[in-house]
Amino acid sequence: MNFSKINYQSFLGKLLRLPLRLIPKKMVLPILQGSLRGRKWIVGAGEHGYWLGSYEINKRKAFEREITPGAVVYDIGANVGYFSLLAAILAGDEGKVYAFEPLPRNVMFLRKHVELNQLDTIEVFEAAVSDHAGEASFDLGSSTAMGHLADTGKLKVQMVCLDELLSDGQLRPPDYMKVDVEGAEFIALSGARNLLAEYHPILFLDTHNREAHQETIRLLKDLGYHFDVLDGKQIEETKELVARST
């Protein structure tokens, strides 16, 4: 059952999630579904959908369809590492995953999940991806999954630019990129124009406001990309997309 589809504020949602509150947050449990089945997960890292295997199930299934052994994957906005782990399992020992996450609390869980599952093909960058390198303010948002760059943010984080990292030899060229950065998708991809134009990686996109969505679509169309919608909505209304170069 996909618990993530049930509104957690509804009576049914509250009823189904009630027993889950009794699970200690420090407990390590096996993930129950998908290609990560049996892999280890810390309960308190985030919502229970992670270890239940129902978290962002459309995107999880898209990963499982698309990512091939030996692939190089950039996880931009890695959070606590669910999709980094999934990419590492799908890409195998010959693959490589670069996980970008600026929030120290999330990075801690990300590193613990990498260690628990002995996935040494994952390299963690404690930084936000932007169109230039430097330092920026970061707003923690209403949950640990909703932090974003903001002028009024209280936390200072490092920023990196993908084109610069690639040209400096710090990254291998990507075959796939997951981009989920709470409204900064256009800015992150603007700093990757050269690698997008040269290597044409397949993109898993999660856009978080309409302006960023429209700017991102225009940028990628200019670079020759077309789009598959994951949530059944029109492209103007969706937030879950797979983009691939024509």
- Where do runs of H (alpha helix) occur along the chain? 11-17, 49-52, 57-66, 82-91, 104-116, 162-167, 185-190, 193-199, 210-222
CA 174, CA 178: separation in Å to the nearest integer? 10
- Would you say residue 128 lies in a domain? yes
- 36 to each of 55, 60, 81, 90, 113, how far by Cα in Å? 12, 10, 12, 9, 12
Task: State CA 223 to chain mean position distance.
Answer: 22
End-to-end CA distance of the chain: 36
Q: Which residues contact 102 (CB under 8 A, 6 or more apart)?
A: 126, 127, 128, 138, 147, 157, 158
35 assigned to some structural domain: no
> Is 84 domain-assigned?
yes
Mean pLDDT of the chain: 89
Q: What's the pLDDT at 183?
A: 84
Q: Are strands 128-130 and 155-161 parallel, antiparallel or unpaired?
A: parallel
The residues, any chain, with a CB within 8 Å of residue 192's CB and separated by 6 or more, are: 129, 161, 162, 163, 177
User: Packing angle between helix 82-91 and helix 57-66, nearest 10 degrees?
Assistant: 20
Q: Which two tokens stand for residue 92?
A: 């195998």
Asked if the structure places residue 60 within a domain, the reply is yes
Domain carrying residue 166: 56-245
Separation CA 162–CA 80 (nearest Å): 20
CATH of the domain at 114: 3.40.50.150
Instruction: Please report whether residue 68 resides in a domain.
Output: yes
Q: Is residue 50 assigned to a domain?
A: no
- With a pLDDT cut of 90, the percent of the chain lying above it is 71
Residue 121 in domain: yes
Position 64 pLDDT exceeds 80: yes
* Overall domain count for the chain: 1
Per-residue pLDDT tens digits for 9-23: 555 555 566 678 788
pLDDT in tens, 197-207: 999 999 999 99
| Closest CA relative to residue 208, chosen from 160, 159, 147 | 147
C-alpha to C-alpha distance for 243 and 17, rounded to whole angstroms: 34
- Quick one: pLDDT at residue 225? 97
Does a structural domain hold residue 166? yes
